[in-house]
Chain A
């Protein structure tokens, strides 16, 4: 249900259609080839709907209109004032077109009218285009945003890149740990298991903040490196508030999600398999590569998919340690959700995230086979 709601919101444009039903109806009749500006009926409908419409609803619609083209808000606001004045004096204009153009000369600017074209349908792809740094130009073609307004594609790439890196690092770090867990004598493996699970019992915020303490320029790691003489005092590494910080902290936080599925798969691989392989003449490395590793694929896939899916939508950690560079797509979703209240864009970003995840899932199913996933 929430997913359905999100998908619906990402294309929904019915709110504005509820505010300007007649205007949009008349608008659709406008032959853009013939007339430069829309016919009188459109102006009339707009006048009436602004004059008698609900103020709150109009306000909301304005926000939506501004996504299509900036300037709408002030245009409608000034126009509304004039209309209200006229209505109060009971002086309904004879020519609505003239009246509006007098109220604000932007009503003679066809680009605004063209932009309205994006809103006249109940469904709109504009949020998706926005989520990919694209917008409509005057002729309603989809084009790239201005150079300085392009943020999402960059963030998408960064999100994917960091997620892939985090998954790879988790695999590299998690594999030996899981192997130890599965093969150490019970006494040691239990202890190790506690170390693996300990972070789970600690708040995510605490762990993330701990990483800030560790990684900052006057933090533990830099301190040790300087003390060891590896770094000079003024050459301290910038490890936090950038991508590196995000990568390190996310890897550590998501590591258990890789270790646990791997462990549960490794635990049931009989030890006799490695022995059998060696007995059959394979050197330990060959035996590992040909016999052990293929049997851990279900665990690696389960862990990998889990970590990747969690990483791609991760929010708190990159938000805290990521600084300006290390922010992922989750940041923008939260930003639009809470600050700009552009829920349509939010939903579109979320839907794309979901889509990306499904694509990876599909790819994975093609390559490895989903039956191969095993959590225990």
Chain B
């Protein structure tokens, strides 16, 4: 392991010190960004990233995630607020002095240079002596397993190989931080999954801080320490993948991450952490966790994950419903059933394939779920 492969342990320890703001390595403070002076693309963004962390900004297109990344890289300036890197404000520092590596969406490899020349470019502009440059380039190429491809031109490489070269180029000059802007978007599915693991492993090995942008939630869940879910220029929730999936704080996150069943209703009663929701159109009452509602009378959207719905068994207290099977899809390990439940035609249930499921389309199923698995969110 070379000097620039920073110790992994130290990096991962710092993730746990996140509560202390002085520990944050990258800090977005009250960032607003507007291109035209009217519409805010990014609104009041506050984000802390610890050293060595792999943070993903996840969101649909136009949600402001790429703009945020560009502000960090220095290609856009925040309209309001300040970005700190290693406690120093960087808004006034031009991109070429920020020492931030970046992997671009379409790699942005220079087509007139060989792979080696591409990799030595950042070292040459830093006036690093030739032998040292050569050594570092070779090391970086070995890291992405392209040791023998140095003399090729980018056009002679496959998409996956180009991707690795781009990654190696972003790392070769030992930047303080690496940004990745949907780097796997152009690859096919298998290669994309393979590269996800590869990037993750490289991150684990050298412990560099990574800020990753994607609109692919499975990619985000696979790779990240933490995920910031963007929508409409606002971070909806910033958390670890498991918490995002299991405890979404609002209906956007619940819908955007993973599969999600929704039922709309009005809060009828609040009891500490739980509440009772009267479903619209008189379909009955649901006991749910009170997450993003305040009081009686609030409109709410209930969120239930498909795999948390049980069939053919009843819950002693409440939350027992019937659903009519609309469609059954056999997926090997489980059967995916689309039901009509309480007026929702798109209610999905995943039935584990234990060999005992004998219902047909049109049958009625008894459904139930635990109140802890239902989250009353905003609408």
Chain A positions within 8 Å of B, measured between CB atoms, are 270, 272-273, 275-284, 286-287, 290-291, 294-295, 297
CB distance from A282 to the nearest CB of B (A): 5
Question: Do A283 and B96 touch across chains, with their CB atoms under 8 A apart?
Answer: yes
Q: A286-B125, A294-B112, A295-B112 are in contact. Are A278 and B106 (CB under 8 A)?
A: no
Question: Do A295 and B111 touch across chains, with their CB atoms under 8 A apart?
Answer: yes
Would you list the 4 A-B pairs with minimal beta carbon distance, nearest first?
A280-B122, A276-B108, A272-B108, A278-B95
Question: Do B94 and A278 touch across chains, with their CB atoms under 8 A apart?
Answer: yes
B210 on interface, CB distance cutoff 8 Å:
no
Contacts of B108 in A (CB 8 A): 270, 272-273, 275-276
B126 on interface, CB distance cutoff 8 Å:
yes
Contacts of A295 in B (CB 8 A): 110-112
Question: Do B125 and A272 touch across chains, with their CB atoms under 8 A apart?
Answer: no
B253 on interface, CB distance cutoff 8 Å:
no
Contacts of A275 in B (CB 8 A): 73, 75, 95, 102, 104, 108
CB distance from A290 to the nearest CB of B (A): 7
Q: When the two chains form the complex, which single residue of B96, B106, B111 contacts A281, counting CB atoms closer than 8 Å?
A: B96
Q: When the two chains form the complex, which single residue of B96, B110, B126 contacts A279, counting CB atoms closer than 8 Å?
A: B96
Q: A278-B96, A295-B111, A295-B112 are in contact. Are A272 and B122 (CB under 8 A)?
A: no
- Looking at chain A's contact residues, the main secondary structure is helix
Report how far A276 CA is from B106 CA in the complex, Å: 11
Contacts of A290 in B (CB 8 A): 121, 125
Report how far A209 CA is from B94 CA in the complex, Å: 50
Contacts of B105 in A (CB 8 A): 272
Contacts of B111 in A (CB 8 A): 295
What class of interface size applies to chain B in its complex with A? 20 to 34
Q: Nearest residue in B to A290 (C-beta to C-beta)?
A: B121
Contacts of B95 in A (CB 8 A): 275, 278-279
Chain B positions within 8 Å of A, measured between CB atoms, are 73-75, 94-102, 104-106, 108, 110-112, 121-122, 125-126, 169, 173
Question: Do B125 and A281 touch across chains, with their CB atoms under 8 A apart?
Answer: yes
Question: Do A282 and B102 touch across chains, with their CB atoms under 8 A apart?
Answer: no
Q: A294-B112, A295-B112 are in contact. Are A280 and B106 (CB under 8 A)?
A: no
Contacts of B112 in A (CB 8 A): 294-295, 297
Report how far A294 CA is from B113 CA in the complex, Å: 9
Report how far A184 CA is from B73 CA in the complex, Å: 22
Known: A272-B104, A275-B104. 14 other contacts (CB 8 A): A272-B108, A275-B73, A275-B102, A276-B108, A278-B74, A279-B101, A280-B96, A280-B122, A280-B173, A281-B97, A281-B126, A282-B125, A290-B125, A297-B112
Q: Nearest residue in B to A284 (C-beta to C-beta)?
A: B96
Q: A272-B104, A276-B102, A276-B104 are in contact. Are A282 and B75 (CB under 8 A)?
A: no
Question: Do A277 and B102 touch across chains, with their CB atoms under 8 A apart?
Answer: no
Question: Do B121 and A282 touch across chains, with their CB atoms under 8 A apart?
Answer: yes
Q: When the two chains form the complex, which single residue of B102, B110, B126, B169 contacts A273, counting CB atoms closer than 8 Å?
A: B110
CB distance from B167 to the nearest CB of A (A): 13
CB distance from A271 to the nearest CB of B (A): 9
CB distance from B61 to the nearest CB of A (A): 17
Report how far A104 CA is from B73 CA in the complex, Å: 95
Question: Do B106 and A282 touch across chains, with their CB atoms under 8 A apart?
Answer: no
Contacts of A280 in B (CB 8 A): 96, 101, 121-122, 125, 169, 173
CB distance from A281 to the nearest CB of B (A): 5
Q: Nearest residue in B to A280 (C-beta to C-beta)?
A: B122
Report how far A275 CA is from B66 CA in the complex, Å: 14
Report how far A303 CA is from B96 CA in the complex, Å: 32
Q: Nearest residue in A to B166 (C-beta to C-beta)?
A: A276
Contacts of B96 in A (CB 8 A): 278-284, 287
Contacts of A294 in B (CB 8 A): 112
Contacts of A284 in B (CB 8 A): 96
Question: Do B106 and A270 touch across chains, with their CB atoms under 8 A apart?
Answer: yes
